[in-house]
Structure 1
Amino acid sequence: MATTARVETQHNMCPQAPSLVHPDHATLIALLDGSPLSLSHYLAWGLSAGGTLLDGLSVFMLGIAIPLLIHDMSLTPAQTGLLGAALVAGAVIGASLGGRLADRLGRKAVFLLDMGLLTLAAVIGALAWDPWLLVVTQLAAGIAIGMDFPVSSSYVAECMPHRERSHMMVATIACQSAGMLLAAVVALGLLHLSGSPQAWRLFFASEAVLAALFLVARLHLPESPRWLMGQGRNREAVHALENLVPEDRQKLETLATRLGDEIHHVSKLSRQSQPPGFGILFHPAYRRRTLLSTLPWLLMDVATYGVGLFTAVLLGSLHFGASAADPLARAEALAGGSGLIDISLLAGFLIGLWAVSRFGRIRMQLAGFAGMAAGMLVLLSSTLLDGGAAHHVALVFAGFVTFNLSMNMGPNSTTYILPAELFPTQVRATAAGFAAACAKVGATAGVFLLPLIKSALGVASVLALMAVVSLLGLASTWLFRIEGHGRTLEEHHSEDLP
């Protein structure tokens, strides 16, 4: 058996036994990180990104379905509010649960579980006969989508070549906006096909079909080699690796034989000193990383709801649905108008694909929060001018575009990447799930609290507050920053990083 080589030393703020890595593990990781981007990588990425695609599609479909449901099922205001909140509340539960399960059971197991749950929830939703059953199905759909978030970020981070990792991770979260655009096209087609307020059933049915297709396709997805090595399942890791790297199979088998059941562990903490569950995230070795991963993401999601207050103003001013008399026509107009707005979201991600890898996660997150604050201030100025926002559509549009571009080229991309990079394989999905759950808590707070502030103090006060929230996101990023730009996942745990 070859001797182990030290790749980490003890953390300077929190002395622990140094982590040791077997040189054959280092060889396998180097092969994975240095491999050329191939069709197998693209297929693995595409199947991983299915959850974020369906996240965007589900949110958009529900938004278009609610006006139809109000007409078709005579929803009360309470039922309407619960229906909208159930998806977000479920995501909080799902993100916390999915991350822990993915670290214990593996990435692929949770990929299959969440897509199976989403398929079931969408099928029952399409057949629902009662508003409360719809609330339950949306809660289940939210749990499924929330479970997928930490698994997809962890899997893509662990399986993609090092030089392409940031591109592929930004592309993964960009599928959220792509899902919204896909939903707009599908919704418009189904509304024309159905010609009935019950078209909402077709919305959920289409979601079920897509989820089922991803479920079947994911059966062929290889497990993450890094996760398998972290469990000491090195022969399985080599077999998974064969799908991703152009290396001689016999050489890989030889490495697996030498490794036996040796566990690949790269961390600032030894295995014996790691607190259980979420406790490790608040250990001094990782507390700063946890704060960097969670606070900015939470604040971003709060601010995101603030700009949503102006969606109706912009669409109404551009005559999307303003004069439509029946719910079907209004739904068609809303789908078309919202789809146009979502193009700016996707454009921001496309900029992020180039900029995040070039300038680094922290710089882009700082710049993005600054741009979000600027966008909010532009929207605020539109409310203070004569005639209000409805008479200054160009200014409102400029604020929308500035906010959405800044958010998606910055924090909406980087907050998804950072948890997957900052934590070791054994707790990577747990950390990503905790961060995503905190973000959804921020979104929930925005959904419930901002309308109350708007009612009491007015829209201008909300927009001013959201500008402050964006600046707090900038400040928290700067305060807890860890710039590991250009490092491999394993190098993120060397002692020169906090």
Structure 2
Amino acid sequence: MVRRQLRVLSTLDVARTQLYHFMAIVIAGMGFFTDAYDFFSISLVIDLISYQFYDGQMGSGVQAAISGIALCGAVPGQLVFGWLGDKMGRKRIYGVTLVLMVVTSLASGLSLSKRQGKNVVTVLCFFRFWLGVSIGGDYPLSATIMSEYANKRRRGAFIAAVFAMQGFGNLAAGIVGMVVSAAFTNSKKSNADYVWRIVLMFGAVPATLTYYWRMKMPETARYTALVAKDAKKVASDMSTVLNMHIVPEDETVDDLARHDQYGLFSVEFLRRHGVHLLGTSACWLALDITFYSLNLFMKDIFTTIGLLKLHQGDDPFKRMIHITALHTTLVLCFSLPGYFFSVAFVDRVGRVRIQLLGFAMMSAFILCLAIPYAHWTDEHNKYGFAVMYGLTSFFANFGPNTTTFIIPAEIFPARLRSTCHGISGAFGKIGAIIGVFGFVYAQRHRHIRSMLFALVGCNLVGLVFTLLLPESKGKALEDITGEMEEPPQPELEAAAVAAADYVHVVPV
């Protein structure tokens, strides 16, 4: 088919890497920094919450609720804000998610109740749910905005760089937890109530700092041209962004508007992208079962193995320092390098190959933990367990944890891009919820080894569904989705068939 051209989009595709690319990475990335900080900081302070309100005897069900409630909120957040991003524009909804994130981060730390004690945990869970809604909304919008601003040569690296801020947010959670705990060491044990609140509230700081720049960022050219159909607006916005004069292409944009465009629930979407949406959703679900169960319950896993020695009568601040120190070490040594490798190689190796490699290597290393599980529980082998655990984290990040974020932002048409990314991500968070509550069940019944085998199965499922996905490396978004192809013209096709009837092939 013939492909129609919008010069402004072609210009974005071939633009050299310049300041506005890095501005977009920072603006979108700081939101993701906050997302990760808020998601993972709860696993570090839950020990203090247990000490403060449950005398260190928090039930596994309560622990799962506190750990998983934000994930429950992320599911509707991704679906609703992803859909709104396609209906109302990426920029407008982007600001809403940030404001909600700031408010709920602060409210989580200020959780109070008329009856002090366990009721505070109920209030905390309420605000954590809405925090999850805002974080969920940030996923599809950040990925879509970065993909639509990027040039085609480095688009994967730019989206991966935004996602890599998850690693820095995870690292910051450990550092902030360690610093705040150290500041309260040797103080009254009742001050533990201040520590967990300060750690949770800190998540509002980076989000607040980027609000002005997020609101100043113009709407993406692809949304304005292909969805809003405003040729003058896209020319004006991109003239500012690219620092060059761009002529409005009213005729081409009007031509795009005249053609029927299929919707999410149409047969045409099912024919073109149904398999792709199945692939992105299934891969993200499989990945997050593993990723969140291993990350949110790191303390419990390493306590079981004996690498983290926590006793009932220990000083709560020193316990917190031990937990955050181990967390920070693992992030620095394994998680962050995985993100860096993804940024460096995603546009060279390709998204699909990296995802296949990641799922395969995660399966291999978790098998190395599961098969000789009794071996790792020996006092002398606990550091080997930590290395295997860390390598699993490395290949999650240099693998499907990054690519499941990138691929849905590239392979769906602009008018459905944010929605489909939100659907894919929502399935991921459903997987995370399964992982959280599944781990609690496994821990309660001493089935950690069985859980590890189940995680291997999840990774293999993700590997198989990855085969449904197209490679998007180095291609323009419109070439991947086919959304600017000229529709077939019946009269021309009929003429071509009639002409073919007069062709007589003479054998040689």
Q: Indicate the TM-score class for this superposition, using the shorter chain for normalisation.
A: 0.7 to 0.9
CA distance in 2, matches of 1:393, 1:125: 35
Choose from 296, 318, 326 the match for 1:329.
318
In structure 1, runs of 5+ residues without a counterpart are 8-20
Deviations 1:147-185 (A, max 9, x none): 000000000000011111111111111111110112222
Choose from 479, 483, 487 the match for 2:475.
487
The correspondence of residues 284-303 of structure 1 with structure 2, limited to 5 A, is: 284-303=271-290
The correspondence of residues 402-421 of structure 1 with structure 2, limited to 5 A, is: 402-421=391-410
CA distance in 2, matches of 1:63, 1:279: 42
For 1:35, the equivalent position in structure 2 comes to 15
Q: What percent of counterpart residues are identical?
A: 23
1:283 aligns with 2:270: yes
CA distance in 2, matches of 1:271, 1:293: 28
1:84 aligns with 2:67: yes
| Amino acid paired to 2:76 | I
Deviations 1:284-308 (A, max 9, x none): 2211110121111110111224544
CA distance in 1, matches of 2:267, 2:137: 20
For 2:24, the equivalent position in structure 1 comes to 44
For 2:233, the equivalent position in structure 1 comes to 236
The correspondence of residues 330-409 of structure 1 with structure 2, limited to 5 A, is: 330-343=319-332, 344-385=334-375, 388=377, 390-409=379-398
CA distance in 1, matches of 2:455, 2:252: 54
For 2:139, the equivalent position in structure 1 comes to 149
Does structure 1 conserve the Cα–Cα contact (< 8 Å) formed by 2:109 and 2:201?
yes
- CA positional deviation for 1:121: 0.7
CA distance in 2, matches of 1:378, 1:244: 50
1:212 aligns with 2:208: yes
| Amino acid paired to 1:358 | R
1:443 aligns with 2:443: no
- CA positional deviation for 1:204: 2.7
- CA positional deviation for 1:187: 2.1
CA distance in 2, matches of 1:36, 1:450: 47
Deviations 1:129-156 (A, max 9, x none): 1222111110011000000000000000
Cα separation, partners in 2 of 1:123 and 1:313, compared to 1, 3 Å: closer
| Amino acid paired to 1:150 | P
- CA positional deviation for 1:273: 5.3
| Amino acid paired to 1:189 | V
Question: Under a length normalisation based on structure 2, what TM-score does the superposition of the two structures give?
Answer: 0.85
Does structure 2 conserve the Cα–Cα contact (< 8 Å) formed by 1:112 and 1:219?
yes
SS at 1:67 equivalent: helix
Deviations 1:174-216 (A, max 9, x none): 1111101122222222223345302122123321222222223
For 1:255, the equivalent position in structure 2 comes to 248
For 2:489, the equivalent position in structure 1 comes to none
SS at 1:219 equivalent: helix
1:304 aligns with 2:291: yes
Deviations 1:306-329 (A, max 9, x none): 544565444676755536802221
Instruction: Specify the structure having the higher radius of gyration (Cα).
Output: 2
CA distance in 2, matches of 1:322, 1:73: 18
Cα separation, partners in 2 of 1:218 and 1:281, compared to 1, 3 Å: farther
Deviations 1:224-248 (A, max 9, x none): 111111211222212221243242x
For 1:10, the equivalent position in structure 2 comes to none
For 1:15, the equivalent position in structure 2 comes to none
CA distance in 2, matches of 1:461, 1:331: 29
- CA positional deviation for 1:382: 3.8
In structure 2, runs of 5+ residues without a counterpart are 113-119, 186-190, 486-508
Number of aligned positions between the proteins: 464
CA distance in 1, matches of 2:266, 2:362: 33
Question: Under a length normalisation based on structure 1, what TM-score does the superposition of the two structures give?
Answer: 0.87
SS at 2:389 equivalent: helix
How large is the Cα RMSD of the aligned pairs?
A: 2.6
| Amino acid paired to 1:36 | R
CA distance in 2, matches of 1:382, 1:271: 60
| Amino acid paired to 1:37 | T
Cα separation, partners in 2 of 1:289 and 1:121, compared to 1, 3 Å: same
CA distance in 1, matches of 2:421, 2:134: 15
CA distance in 1, matches of 2:163, 2:40: 16
Deviations 1:418-471 (A, max 9, x none): 111110110000000000000000110111124324545722211112112211
Does structure 1 conserve the Cα–Cα contact (< 8 Å) formed by 2:338 and 2:395?
yes
Does structure 2 conserve the Cα–Cα contact (< 8 Å) formed by 1:150 and 1:432?
yes
